[in-house]
Amino acid sequence: MAESMDTSEIVADEDDRKLFVGGLPQDAKQEDISVHFQTFGEIDNINIKTDPATGRSRGFAFVVFKTIQGLQDAVTETEHAVKGKKVAVKKAKAKEGKIYVGKLKPELSDDDIKNHFAQFGQITAVEQPFDKTKNERKNFCFITFEKEDCAKQLLKAGSTNINGVELEVKKVTPKPDPRVMGMAFMGRGGGRGGFNGPYGHHYGDYYGYGGYADPYFAGGWGGYGGYGGGWAGFDQYGGKGGAKGGAPRGGGGGGNPGARGGNRGGGRGRGGAARHEPY
């Protein structure tokens, strides 16, 4: 007689059970967050994000439920408050995974490369540098997966084979912008400007660390998982301390989000893609 598989202990991927909670009171503790969100389902863990330099809360956290249903119930609810203060929630975006792929051969087409790596997981971006001098594609590229675990599979192997061509796979390490780091630690990256507004909390802290301290940063709050134009995307959270009252200007997570991000909250960075060192 064939044995049936017991699926009662199978736990859904953490990314599918993770909730983003923003606009927390400065003094909110795990217990305070749990009191509210446990009403939607049993909680696996709570991670309050803090500034590594000061230890102060950055005003947001991630709540992981035991089940997907708990997350869905929390997202469906339109009003949330922690310690009497209104907070914003959204399903957390999965942490992306980016890899460097080297030793590409001219005979491998763009489709060959993309189709091969797609079997490891959902791809969000394929960057293939082009040599304008030689008028040909360079012999390496960058692949970004929707979920970090997909990248980890390939990194563990260290190589992969496409149509008989052995390719090397390496981790992409974000390269911090020293200008942003300097401003952050001198106090100009946070503390001044940023999103003050209704939170009584300086969101400029988050800006100062740009794309290097936290993997979820990608051009201000707006870069986090479809939050529109930053916190200003939520009408009630459009802090007056932002870039002239609206969303931060500038592109994704290379240091400071745009030339005016956070009203001096993060200096005068250039925006654009985060610099990285593939080796």
Distance CA 279, CA 277 (A): 6
Distance CA 17, CA 11 (A): 10
**3 state DSSP class of 42:** coil
Q: Evaluate whether 228 touches 187 at the Cβ level (below 8 Å).
A: no
Domain 97-171: give its CATH superfamily.
Answer: RRM (RNA recognition motif) domain (3.30.70.330)
Task: Tell me whether residue 107 is exposed, middle or buried, using C-beta atoms within 10 angstroms of its C-beta: 0 to 12, 13 to 18, 19 or more.
Answer: exposed
| CATH class of segment(s) 14-91 | alpha beta
Instruction: Show the low-confidence residues of the chain (pLDDT under 50).
Output: 1-2, 4-8, 180, 183-184, 187-273, 279
Note the pLDDT of residue 78.
92
Q: Where are the domains of the chain?
A: 14-91, 97-171, 173-279
Task: Give the angle subtended at the CA of 10 by the CAs of 118 and 16, to the nearest 5°.
Answer: 55
- pLDDT tens for each residue of 114-140: 999 999 999 999 999 999 999 999 999
Q: What is the CA radius of gyration of the chain?
A: 21
